[in-house]
Every structure is written in structure tokens, then in C-alpha cells.
Amino acid sequence: MPFEISLEGRTYSTDYLSVAEAVELEEMLGRSWRELHPAGSAAEFQAFATMFLRRDHPGEQAAKIAAEMPLGTALAAVAWKESDLPDVYEDGLPKAVGGSSTTTSSSSPGRPGRGRRT
């Protein structure tokens, strides 16, 4: 991810899915949200479109709009969006390509494990 999906004159970004919406998409599609690709699968497009359309329409109406959309319209609605997120992580932290390790010490010099009390 990230993608932008234009539906009914409005553009939605996958960057602004709530965690609950992402979980619902994962459960519906059986894949991690990082693996989902709304332009790579009709089922995934339909799930994303329904999710976004539910913001402006009742659930059944949103699902009907998404299901009845012509495939060409659906493909044209999805655009890859450049991300400013790093591609490389080390120990769960972003790392510049070719950069030094992200491992750091969290203790004060000379007094391991002790922090200042406030």
C-alpha cells in the first residue's frame, strides 16, 4: 500500500483507513493489510471500494455500488501513491540504505539501567 481510489467524485486514500477498517479488510480477504492490492484483484477492489463508500452510503448500498461497477471503471479508479515510508527497517526502526545500525543504548553513561527520576 498506499493507494488512492476515486469513487463518485471523491478520492479516498488507504493511508487513512482506520485500524478497525484494516482489520475488517484482512478478515474479509484472508491476507495482511500490507499484502492487499486493490488494483490486483477484483475481490480486493470491491472490498476497498465498499469500505470507502460506506463512509457516504448505507452498507448495502455501498456494497451494491462497488459490486456493479464496470471493471474498466474500477481499474481507472485506483492509483498507486508514492509513500514516504522507508523501505528498510532494522530492529523495527527505519534505516537508511547503507547507513549504520539503528541499535542504541537507552541507559545513561556509567550507570546502566538507571534513569533520572521525576
Read off the pTM: 0.67
Evaluate whether residue 26 is within a structural domain: yes
- pLDDT confidence of residue 89: 64
Type of residue numbered 16? Y
Task: State the average pLDDT over residues 42-69.
Answer: 95
**10, pLDDT greater than 80:** yes
Evaluate whether residue 98 is within a structural domain: no
Domain count, the chain: 1
Evaluate whether residue 106 is within a structural domain: no
Max Cα distance, the chain (Å): 67
Top-confidence residue, 27 or 114: 27
Is the distance from CB of 36 to CB of 28 less than 8 angstroms? Answer: no
Share of the chain above pLDDT 90, in %: 55
Top-confidence residue, 84 or 25: 25
Q: 38 is in which domain, residue-wise? A: 3-80
Evaluate whether residue 39 is within a structural domain: yes
Task: State the average pLDDT over residues 53-62.
Answer: 95
Task: State the average pLDDT over residues 48-71.
Answer: 95
**92, pLDDT greater than 80:** no
Evaluate whether residue 9 is within a structural domain: yes
- pLDDT confidence of residue 2: 86
